[in-house]
Copies of this chain bind each other. A is one copy, B any other.
Amino acid sequence: MPNQKIFASPQDVEAAFYEALESCDIDAMMAVWAEDEEVVCVQPGGPRLVGYTVIREAWQRVFANARKLRVRLSQQTAITTPFAMVSTVLEHISTRDDENQSAPVAATNVYVRGALGWRMVAHHASPVPPDSIGEAPRILH
């Protein structure tokens, strides 16, 4: 599976990840991920998925049930080291047909710099309890 896109920064990877999610584009989504057996993905309410192939299958199932999504991000945090970045964010996801947002999701995203530039190595998302959102979302995306 060709996966030759080069991302020059973790911010570029994160932008590409959420663009792929919005457009339900499996090839764009998998270009974001490191092709590694130990990459990890937890979708909201789901199990821990380990490895590039398993994660690809899971995104294919998600995208089979949705045509286009709208994702707004708020309250971003970041911790950066020379070869890795931890980003956390609240995701506000809705469908294009229905602007009503679903419950927000807290996501922890980890990006690592390798020989082929920056790639995602972990995405862990979980639903946020509705009574814990103290702040209106700042729209970043």
Contacts and interface: CB of A to CB of B under 8 A. Distances in A.
A15 B110 CA distance: 21
A129 B88 contact: no
A69 interface: no
Given A36-B79, A79-B36, A129 B86 contact: no
Contacts of A45: 126, 129
Oligomeric state, in number of copies? Answer: 2
Secondary structure class of chain A's binding surface, majority of residues: strand
Contacts of A42: 106, 108, 126
Interface in A87-113: 88, 90, 106, 108, 110, 112-113
Contact of A78 (B34, B38, B75, B81): B38
12 contacts: A40-B77, A40-B108, A42-B108, A45-B129, A47-B129, A48-B88, A79-B112, A79-B121, A84-B84, A84-B86, A84-B112, A108-B124
